[in-house]
A and B are shown apart, each in its own frame.
Chain A
Amino acid sequence: MSLRRNILDLRKRKDEVRKGGGDEAIGKQAAMGKLTARERILAIVDEGSFHEYDMFVEHAGTDFDMGNKVLAGDGVVIGTGTIYESPVCLFAQDFTVAGGSLGLSHARKITKIMDHALKMRVPLIGINDSGGARIQEGVNSLAGYGEIFFRNTLSSGVIPQISVILGPCAGGAVYSPALTDFVFVVENISKMFITGPAVIKSVLGEDISMEALGGARVHAEITGNAHFFALSEKECFEQIKTLITYIPWNNTQKAKTFPVKEPKSKYKIQNIVPADARLPYDIREIIKSITDGSEFFEIMELFAANIVIGFGRMNGETIGFVANQPKVLAGVLDCDSSDKAARFIRYCNAFNIPIITLEDMPGYLPGVDQEHAGVIRHGAKILYAYSEATVPKITVIIRKAYGGGYIAMNSRHLRADFVFAWPTAEIAVMGPEGAANIVFRKEIAEAEDPDAMRQQKIQEYKDKFANPYVAAAKGYIDEVIEPRETRKILLHALRISASKDVQGPSKKHGLPPF
């Protein structure tokens, strides 16, 4: 055999694997608006940067006549590439090969690239599109899932882990994405659930479609399992690439810096907030009026929209924003918004991203449903996450900072590095209406005109306590600032915090109220 023949033979073998499950299966995939595993990877990474490994790995099944079957690459593609020149490790399950089902070799390919990502300290991107465990391989397939979950946990907080759900991801398989940092879903394509519609129907007689049970919108809006929602695979890939620009390669580095851009002039920070604390506005306008280029990359936009989280840049550096949203549910804290914010704060802390908190909230959401859903332990997560974080932590109090919510939203008392307040800030145990009703209960009840007396007492309380100066007098607030100074002061505070170094007591790990 000449060298040329060897090369031709190699090409033929690779071409054979690249066909995946064959034209018919690929056609079915395309009909659902889905790309193939390799097309997806190529759409995410820089052109010409992808290298695939383990193409010739064979499946390990022997029972049920599996020994005679050939499964191209055992239904998964693994490799390395770059995104805007940042290195990443990737795997993509290939639904055209045995439904992307996970057997032993399939799992070993995934764990191989996971080990590689952890060793090289680079982000891992996993594309999930699989019918689930390969039943013919029995317990070996379960072992494979366990090995993946273990590595997800081991890598957690060391390298960024991104899960992309582009097809079914059901049963035990859902737990790998659930253990990772960011989950991307696409409408009509992503399906995630523990127990599928068929079983639910047979056991309960309840008829529900896959989309209504565990579709993209369900996870983006109701369960909070997904962080990014897209209408097409193409949009999803753009979101992934944007995310990569905001995060570092690993927990010992900082995210890439970008040239500084001033905010766009259309965002006039002093015109956004109504002075009446009971009127709403969109807090994202405030964020955009202080970030570089007015850019803000929102995370979990549809879930618990009463709190806003996401990345922006200041002075070219990635910043994590946590902000109450008066436009939705008056910006209250509740179970879902606490979970959402707490996890994001921990993400920022793990990956050296400073946190800016914008506060305007009236307190915790009242209601039996909230109390019984465990708002105590959920709300505690926010306190825990802020207290534990050692990255620079800066708070700007815009209007309402009442009660337990004031403490929770990165107050001085949880070791905020800088706390600024606008002159419209109201830092108090509760709003004037509630406080007057309690403090002056007797006077109001005994007055000839209780309503007039109530209004008078509310005004008295407002004048005395509904301002930033009582807290400023105690040093709980460092500076009361004019709204238009906000960006300048934040840039200064970030510069001063750049080499912040604090150490807590040594411990194996803390016990956050999971």
Chain B
Amino acid sequence: MAEQEKTQIIIVHSAKYQTTYTKKYENRKVWAEPNFNHINSYIPGTIIEILVKEGQKVAAGESILILEAMKMYNDIKMPFKGKIVKVYVEIGQKIPKNFLMIEVEPLD
């Protein structure tokens, strides 16, 4: 069976039910509030080019790096006017989906 034999609790509408969990339930992704200052990869791929340096001020819509995925060059743009806080990737690096590539902070 998928579930373990030890007893676990599920709460639905304030009532606690004795039951067992499935592996899939135990491994479910816990939701975290998105941080808009984190530029994460939306697709797995390879870093081709990094167009900004740490500390640099960048206008909204400017390209900050090129991510190759599925044989396509994806132009990653600055989401708002801001400063580059930290670059977490290097050229040639293969990254999975949702990988933190660049951290930015907004400027007025």
Contact = CB atoms under 8 A, between A and B. Distances in A.
Q: Is the A/B pair a real complex?
A: yes
A62 B11 CA distance: 64
A120 interface: no
A372 B28 CA distance: 12
B15 A433 contact: yes
A332 B28 CA distance: 16
Interface stretch (A80-88, A239-247, A323-331): A323-331
13 contacts: A204-B96, A280-B7, A280-B18, A301-B1, A329-B20, A329-B25, A331-B19, A362-B10, A362-B17, A368-B31, A369-B30, A369-B31, A435-B13
A430 interface: yes
A329 B44 contact: no
B13 A305 contact: no
Contacts of A435: 13
B83 to A, nearest CB: 30
B24 interface: yes
A302 B12 contact: no
Contacts of B2: 221, 302-303, 305, 328
B19 A326 contact: yes
Interface in A334-369: 336, 362-369
Contact of B22 (A203, A279, A328, A403): A328
Q: Identify which of B16, B23, B24 gathers the most chain A CB atoms within 10 Å of its CB.
A: B24
Nearest to B70: A203
A431 interface: yes
Nearest to B71: A203
B15 A306 contact: no
B53 interface: no
A432 B16 CA distance: 11
Q: Identify which of A302, A364, A372 gathers the most chain B CB atoms within 10 Å of its CB.
A: A302
B70 to A, nearest CB: 8
Contacts of A367: 28
B13 A363 contact: yes
A10 B96 CA distance: 58
B73 interface: no
Nearest to B29: A369
A278 interface: yes
Interface of B: 1-3, 7, 10-25, 28-31, 44-45, 69-70, 94, 96
Contacts of B3: 305, 327-328
B31 A279 contact: no
A455 interface: no
B29 A280 contact: no
Contact of A280 (B15, B19, B44): B19
A48 interface: no
A203 B17 contact: no
Given A328-B20, A434-B15, 4 more contacts: A203-B69, A280-B18, A328-B2, A365-B10
A362 B29 contact: no
A280 B17 contact: yes
A485 interface: no
A366 B18 contact: no
B40 to A, nearest CB: 15
Contacts of A452: none
A456 B11 CA distance: 20
A330 B17 contact: yes
A287 B28 CA distance: 30
A301 B19 CA distance: 17
Contacts of B1: 301-302, 305
Nearest to B13: A434
Contacts of B94: 203-205
B10 A332 contact: yes
B19 A330 contact: yes
Contact of A366 (B12, B24, B25, B69): B12
B14 to A, nearest CB: 4
A304 B94 CA distance: 34
